[in-house]
Structure 1
Amino acid sequence: MEHGHTKYPIGHIIGFLLSLAMTILAAIVALRSGLPKPAIMSIIGVLAFMQAGMQLFMFMHIKESDNSAVQIGNIIYSIIIALTIVLGSIWVMHN
């Protein structure tokens, strides 16, 4: 039974390991470092942004699409939704 996947998914494994490394690094920074809270939040934010971008390319196959205009529209929409959720959550927690 052929599913169209003939090569080993090395990209998925690399993406998984990178995601794991970034998550562990964020946990170490949050739990073990003596940095001030704004620095910790900035580092975690940068790691989260890097991980989201990496996952888009490694797992969601953004670069393999035939219709790039639709993909760009989907990415912009996803960024707007993610920013709305994150900024809205921060706003609610501070008020």
Structure 2
Amino acid sequence: MKELFPLKQVMGFAFSIFFTLLALAVYFFNMSFTIGMTVLLVTAFLQAGLQLVVFMHAGETEDKGAIYTNIYYALVIALVTVFGTLLCMIWGYV
């Protein structure tokens, strides 16, 4: 019976709820902008990684190396785009 219970998915759901409550604590505890944004960014990336691995089964196929490589590449492109935009538009470097 133990092999029929989806422990991995239940634990993933519990951690997902925990990360959501942690992000919600930023609002209820009226944290400063810097601390609040740090908590929100960290919990957002942790929850996105958790969703990819547990619920979208990113690591359960034969080509998991290619899947993780594509995820890392997309993350690098997203960070370059965001920080490049900040660099040009807000910080004044052209």
Q: What's the TM-score, normalizing by structure 2?
A: 0.67
* Cα gap change, 1:42 to 1:64, in 2 (>3 Å): same
CA RMSD in angstroms, aligned pairs only: 2.7
Higher RCO (C-alpha under 8 Å, 6+ residues apart): 1
Q: Does 1:24 align with 2:21?
A: yes
Q: Does 1:46 align with 2:35?
A: no
Superposition deviation, residue 39 in structure 1: 1.0
Segments of 5+ residues of structure 1 without an aligned counterpart are: 1-5
Superposition deviation, residue 78 in structure 1: 3.8
**Runs (4+) off by over 3 Å:** 80-85
Q: Percent identity?
A: 32
Superposition deviation, residue 33 in structure 1: 1.6
For the 8 Å contact 1:65–1:71, the answer to whether it is kept is no
Q: What's the TM-score, normalizing by structure 1?
A: 0.67
Segments of 5+ residues of structure 2 without an aligned counterpart are: none
